[in-house]
Structure 1
């Protein structure tokens, strides 16, 4: 008797959980998530301390998954995005969010702690009741065997599946099975990150809006999370770390960051001096996708950073993983009983959008870090055009359904 179709999801981060939830809710392999197994190498679920911006393109999907209240309970909903000069603090441009995002796009613009987003996805996955979850499980090999994929774990177990989804991040081991295009590229950019209670900050640097600080050779972004009670801050500079680039999360020296930003204007400098505890992330990515075969081939597919790692300059890394998850669930349901066809449909529907977002993120990073006369021209353009440059209907208006 042939085995029922099923799928193994490798990776229990935001992308893997989103895929499990979307496929479970949409009954891609059976009711309540039956036919789905999520495998995570860590002994317990967890996420790093940082923030995530969720545009209307993403919150629209989360609401469709029944998570509107769960997001509202832990997120912040800034009423505007401000772009300021990192040198002078001068306001260069503003994009209304809040009610305008709801009116124009039908969904809110939210900012949320990664741990909180991860936790609400995990709780939603667990509440379905039918998804098998294996923690502390590393994948040793993945190999096609007839009309199945044989997944071997490091502890000697054999998992047979109709399809395998790699949601195992930038340094994906599953990607080597599909594309084998070498290691991700080191960008030469470093992210200093901090998330602190606003009550611990001086009143003058607390904020309930998204602020992007444009500097020469660096930029910074801050926004509220956790119902506005915390502030997430990231400062991107040029540089590298010593050692294995796949070890991307490091302790950071606050003094080094303050020296790097010595020419910043008062408000940003005040904020940086008010925070003592920082983490340092070494940023890696890949070039924009060139074909659907980079996302799926046969019975193996990739999702999120495993497929299209991107620089954080469009604030859409988590968003694209969630969009991927929505499309994957719809494609598998539309091609029930034929996992390769479902994977192919998913990849064809997603790769060009992901490539566009990757390319725009790279371009944004170049603009954010301009120096000399080009920096001046950038600032003047921002003053003149404002929300015409900041609003992105092609991005925020997208509906994966």
Structure 2
């Protein structure tokens, strides 16, 4: 008899979990609090470690149709505009790591996974319904939905984001912490930008207490921009006046080079606005019990929310789902042991990515002598510093080069 997994959350992690579980021979019931399956407008970078996972699921063609594939990454000084270092992407990434480096609109990645899930008759998608709580015995997990129904399953996956209800019940470790960093995000149609401001590469601008990242999405037709500054979050973001964001940004970027300010100022002229997100994370995972206990497992941001300075948040959720697929496929093991295997195979890598993301944030936003040393190192060792072999060649689709 086929086993059934219950999944909380219909974002990228939830959809990836559903796909992995079906491929492991399980039936899936997925519950999403929102009435529609949507992702907010923002870009996502997918390193070759993540693209290999999507290829293994047969999604290369779909990815090719919606993503952009930048030919290089460059790092520039936000103050002087000078190029500090570059890393070739494109064919070099394919040769080194067996897959391309892709940049994609978050909604397009979500839709790619959702379309794949919808072709699976074994998946039941439930919208407008959340999993509020659970109880578990040795062999069964029982969840209570927001509609007051009790549903039984053989396992429960909490893929319900940074403020996960499943995590709250499983670990009781309080809310995520505020990082003290704010992310301003915008998407602009490239054709609406002056030619000199269009781009088909990834550029990171590093400045004191701030940095900016820009890259193409949607086959290169749109440009994603994110500005991260250090500062307190507004008290009431729900009622925050996002119309004021452009003025706040201009103030935050005073003192940066003209080339950078031109890009930021050009966004409102394309008819697009800046949206503001306060960033939250948790300390790096400390042991496997933080990712699975008994018949309950956590995945993606519910397990290991991280700062965006290694561009691997969505990527680690997808890697988790591939490892979950591998574990759920071990049909001779009890379910709790399969989930334990999943957690043992994932927690250290996720912890390493979380820790490196934090460290990168300190380096990106450095001031004074540290900033001077960073810029010098980048000029001398740019490609070696920017390439991340342990990350790009690792993961559940491990390649040995």
Aligned equivalents of 2:224, 2:96: Cα separation in 1: 26
Aligned to 1:32: none
Aligned equivalents of 2:129, 2:317: Cα separation in 1: 22
SS of corresponding position for 1:227: helix
Aligned to 1:75: 67
Equivalent residue in structure 2 for 1:353, among 349, 362, 368: 349
Aligned equivalents of 1:288, 1:61: Cα separation in 2: 23
**Residues 1:256 and 2:248 aligned together:** yes
How far off is 1:26 after superposition?
3.1
**Residues 1:217 and 2:217 aligned together:** no
How far off is 1:241 after superposition?
2.1
Aligned equivalents of 1:329, 1:69: Cα separation in 2: 21
**Residues 1:283 and 2:279 aligned together:** yes
Aligned equivalents of 1:239, 1:63: Cα separation in 2: 39
Aligned to 1:24: 22
How far off is 1:5 after superposition?
2.3
Instruction: Please say if residues 217 and 223 of structure 2, whose CA atoms lie closer than 8 Å, have aligned partners that are also in contact.
Output: yes
Matches within 5 A, 1:215-364: 215-243=207-235, 251=242, 253-276=245-268, 277-336=273-332, 338-364=334-360
Aligned equivalents of 1:311, 1:21: Cα separation in 2: 26
Instruction: Please say if residues 24 and 328 of structure 2, whose CA atoms lie closer than 8 Å, have aligned partners that are also in contact.
Output: no
- Residues 35-56 of structure 1, C-alpha deviations (whole Å, 9 max, x = no match): 2111101001000000000000
Instruction: Please say if residues 248 and 281 of structure 1, whose CA atoms lie closer than 8 Å, have aligned partners that are also in contact.
Output: no
How far off is 1:248 after superposition?
11
How far off is 1:201 after superposition?
1.0
Cα distance change, pair 222–336 in 1 and its aligned pair in 2 (3 A): farther
SS of corresponding position for 1:156: coil
Instruction: Please say if residues 75 and 111 of structure 1, whose CA atoms lie closer than 8 Å, have aligned partners that are also in contact.
Output: yes
The two structures, once aligned, show a CA RMSD in angstroms of 1.5
Aligned equivalents of 2:153, 2:190: Cα separation in 1: 47
Aligned to 1:12: 10
Aligned equivalents of 1:24, 1:123: Cα separation in 2: 14
SS of corresponding position for 2:219: coil
- Residues 318-369 of structure 1, C-alpha deviations (whole Å, 9 max, x = no match): 0000000000010111145621111000000000000000000000000000
Instruction: Please say if residues 250 and 281 of structure 1, whose CA atoms lie closer than 8 Å, have aligned partners that are also in contact.
Output: no
SS of corresponding position for 1:386: helix
Aligned equivalents of 1:357, 1:335: Cα separation in 2: 30
How far off is 1:24 after superposition?
1.1
Instruction: Please say if residues 133 and 165 of structure 2, whose CA atoms lie closer than 8 Å, have aligned partners that are also in contact.
Output: no
Cα distance change, pair 366–195 in 1 and its aligned pair in 2 (3 A): same
SS of corresponding position for 1:253: helix
Instruction: Please say if residues 132 and 165 of structure 2, whose CA atoms lie closer than 8 Å, have aligned partners that are also in contact.
Output: no
Aligned equivalents of 1:331, 1:255: Cα separation in 2: 49
Cα distance change, pair 79–257 in 1 and its aligned pair in 2 (3 A): same
Matches within 5 A, 1:115-126: 115-126=107-118
TM (norm. structure 2) is 0.95
Instruction: Please say if residues 81 and 211 of structure 1, whose CA atoms lie closer than 8 Å, have aligned partners that are also in contact.
Output: yes
Cα distance change, pair 168–11 in 1 and its aligned pair in 2 (3 A): same
SS of corresponding position for 1:187: strand
Cα distance change, pair 357–368 in 1 and its aligned pair in 2 (3 A): same
- Residues 156-202 of structure 1, C-alpha deviations (whole Å, 9 max, x = no match): 21110111000000011100121111110000000000011001111
- Residues 99-141 of structure 1, C-alpha deviations (whole Å, 9 max, x = no match): 0000000100000000000001000000122201100002232
Aligned equivalents of 1:156, 1:377: Cα separation in 2: 58
Instruction: Please say if residues 12 and 317 of structure 2, whose CA atoms lie closer than 8 Å, have aligned partners that are also in contact.
Output: yes
Cα distance change, pair 201–237 in 1 and its aligned pair in 2 (3 A): same
Aligned equivalents of 2:260, 2:173: Cα separation in 1: 40
Flag structure 2 segments of 5+ consecutive residues without an equivalent. none
